[in-house]
Structure 1
Amino acid sequence: MRNPLGRFTSVLAIAALLIPLASACGGDDGEDGGSDAGIVIYSGRNEKLIQPLLDKLEKAVGTGVEVRYGGSAELAAQLLEEGDKTEADLFLSQDAGALGALSKEGRLDKLPEETLGKVPAQFRGSGGDWVGISGRVRVLVYNPDKVDKAPDSVRDLVKPEWKGKIGYAPTNASFQAFVTGMRVLDGEDATRKWLKGIKDNDAKPYDNNNAVLDAVDSGEVSVGLINHYYWYEKVAEKGADNVTAKLHYLPGGDPGALINVAGVGLLKDANRDAALKAVDYLLSEEAQSYFSEETKEYPLVTGVTSKVPDLPPLESLKAPEIDLGKLESLQETLTMLREAGMV
């Protein structure tokens, strides 16, 4: 679930080598895996996380399901390479950017209005060809033993008072999606300047969000940039009294308050009837509750609420207004991060 995004350009020629093949429960699929008896799902979500839900999906849809796992960016690249010869019916992506890349190239089919209408407009593709199924919020995590509070904007982290106190995970997919969002919201020059400021402020790089959270919790750094659910998972595991770190949800539509989504898109020439049943199952209360309970992500379907203790309601958050499909410009973000010496 937490795998970094790959590079679309270099992966095109070798995508097939990067994607392990895993079959879900049986079914009567033929050799091509794309027969009318079943559906093929390319999943950018972690097998350990998603397979139990896909087992339930298979029963709910009443057809065979074959699943091919890999990173979301790598799978999107392979789908672009395969074109109309792909066996895939559905693309289940960890992030909106990979879905946006397929939408931009016309590889996704329109979804019914009834399906799209289950999720607020900001959490689905503007072209009506993909829909979010779970949400995650970018937050600042801070150590109250080190600082009284976190700043109200990620833009403030370049100020001298935060020198040597920041933790971040520059090679992680969620950080790269956040930087892409900042590019869309603030522009190329402002984002490049911010990255240089973070680097010059001696921000400490970590391999992943969990490592950032642990560093903040231990006091190694004072503040970190992560997704919200890492903190809630840690609290669920260790108990609130055993976690020092606190979360700060940023106000005012700050780039650091980005709400990104995992989502699903229907491929052109898919086994449409069965694939649409699968999409509708992923938007069912059972599936939405699964994401909430297992990963502490936000359910996105209107009327389904999270039971995670102390999780702020999604509608109460002040996220920036952004077309999530525009997060597809990952290559430009990676170039910018390399120029800043971060990856």
Structure 2
Amino acid sequence: MNKSVLVSILVIIVALGAFFMFQQEPQPRDLVVYSGRSKALVDAAVEKFKADTGINVEVKYGGSTQLAVAIIEEGAQSPADLFWSQDAGALGAVNKAGLLKQLPSDLTNSLPETFRNNNGSWVATTARARVLAYSPERLAVEDFPASVTDLTNEKYRNRVAWAPTNASFQSFVSALILEFGVDATREWLVGVRDNGAKNFANNNAILQGIAAGEADLGITNHYYLLRTKAENPSFPVEQTVFASGDIGNMVNVAGIGQLSSSDNPAAIQFIEFLLSEETQLWFTQQVFEYPVIELDVANLPTNQIMETAPVINLEELDDLDQTLQLLREVGLL
């Protein structure tokens, strides 16, 4: 074999080796996220991730409960890489079905135990508190209910607003079941319903209903009013908490987990992005939720909120079927 032929063969071998090495490297591909978080709240963060990384993100928005049910039905065939839930209960249901994979320990261990589940398959991205929104013109301080269970009282007849189809409310009902049992929770739901509670589509609608005089008080998540007040400081609604430790003050989390069927490396990048100081600060200042990492932010009442919150194992709020069945049984779904 002459020298030129040998050189040509070596060049071909090197080129083929480089080609196959290149082919074996993981190539960036679209990241598919099922998001129970509304587009209005998180779209800006998604767009920032896309701009920073060059990775395209396809987001399927919907209710957290409905998306959890869809993922469980899809099983290993789900096109989703990540499930970003509005509440821990929906994440717990997907995890209970064995459809979330364990996240890297350096990622999960960077958070307090309160903000990650026991087996490391999901982490919290932000926290929020349940509060009592009210009309200061029509509800005097001395008439504030001490407990959310007091909303069955005659003095609140035809005055209460709630959102039974909302995922946050449903997670709250799961917490009631965990705290008091199914029978007591059924009794409370029926009591509030029969006391003339008015159904609204979501937390924002509750606030608008109180402002319009359709209700005098309602149970919502804390950040909706803060966002509204940032745009309209004279908005005629205020909010408060129930007595310390009351189940009505529960602190829930939005959280995220990677599906077991996903091998997309961009999934972990997205979670790390959500937990970065920059993104956590954005959620704190723009969405008015509470961060899950330590931030040096003035006047952030996270500690005060946690002090009034009941002790709840969020991972145990995973029986969606039981909660939905109960809500259907009492005619709220």
Q: CA deviation at 1:103?
A: 0.8
Which of residues 313, 320, 327 is equivalent to 2:302? Answer: 313
Bigger drift between 142-151 and 123-132 goes to 142-151
Bigger drift between 214-223 and 252-261 goes to 214-223
What RMSD over aligned residues (CA atoms) do the two structures have, in Å? Answer: 2.3
Which of residues 184, 205, 229 is equivalent to 2:223? Answer: 229
Task: Give 5+ residue unaligned stretches, structure 1.
Answer: 1-34
The answer to whether the 8 Å contact 1:124/1:130 transfers is yes
Looking at structure 1, the residues matched to 201 and 81 of structure 2 have their Cα atoms a distance apart, in angstroms, of 33
- What fraction of aligned residue pairs are identical, expressed as a percent? 41
Looking at structure 1, the residues matched to 235 and 56 of structure 2 have their Cα atoms a distance apart, in angstroms, of 43
**Does residue 282 of structure 2 align to residue 290 of structure 1?**
yes
SS at match of 2:201: coil
**Does residue 40 of structure 2 align to residue 51 of structure 1?**
no
- After superposition, the Cα gap between the structure-2 partners of 1:205 and 1:96, relative to the gap in structure 1 and judged at 3 Å, is same
In the TM superposition, structure 1's runs of 4+ consecutive aligned residues that sit over 6 Å from their partners are none
Bigger drift between 257-266 and 60-69 goes to 60-69
Which of residues 122, 140, 154 is equivalent to 1:148? Answer: 140
Task: Give 5+ residue unaligned stretches, structure 2.
Answer: 1-25
The answer to whether the 8 Å contact 1:259/1:319 transfers is yes
2:241 corresponds to: 249
1:185 corresponds to: 179
- After superposition, the Cα gap between the structure-2 partners of 1:171 and 1:254, relative to the gap in structure 1 and judged at 3 Å, is same
Q: CA deviation at 1:188?
A: 0.8
The amino acid across from 2:178 in the alignment is: V
2:107 corresponds to: 115
Q: CA-to-partner distance for each residue in 1:139-183, whole Å, 9 max, x for gaps?
A: 011222222222121011112222222122222222222111111
Q: Given the two structures, how large is their TM-score scaled by the length of structure 1?
A: 0.80
Bigger drift between 169-178 and 50-59 goes to 50-59
Counting only pairs closer than 5 Å after superposition, residues 138-177 of structure 1 correspond to structure 2 as: 138-149=130-141, 150-177=144-171
Looking at structure 2, the residues matched to 335 and 291 of structure 1 have their Cα atoms a distance apart, in angstroms, of 33
Looking at structure 2, the residues matched to 96 and 285 of structure 1 have their Cα atoms a distance apart, in angstroms, of 22
- The structure that is helix-richer by fraction is 2
Q: CA deviation at 1:64?
A: 4.3
Looking at structure 2, the residues matched to 86 and 341 of structure 1 have their Cα atoms a distance apart, in angstroms, of 32
Q: CA deviation at 1:314?
A: 4.2
Q: CA deviation at 1:306?
A: 5.4
Bigger drift between 289-298 and 68-77 goes to 68-77
Counting only pairs closer than 5 Å after superposition, residues 270-281 of structure 1 correspond to structure 2 as: 270-271=262-263, 273-281=265-273
**Does residue 292 of structure 2 align to residue 300 of structure 1?**
yes
Asked which structure has the greater CA Rg, the reply is 2
Looking at structure 2, the residues matched to 148 and 161 of structure 1 have their Cα atoms a distance apart, in angstroms, of 12
The amino acid across from 2:149 in the alignment is: R
Looking at structure 2, the residues matched to 200 and 268 of structure 1 have their Cα atoms a distance apart, in angstroms, of 44
Q: CA deviation at 1:228?
A: 0.8
Q: CA deviation at 1:211?
A: 2.5
1:96 corresponds to: 88
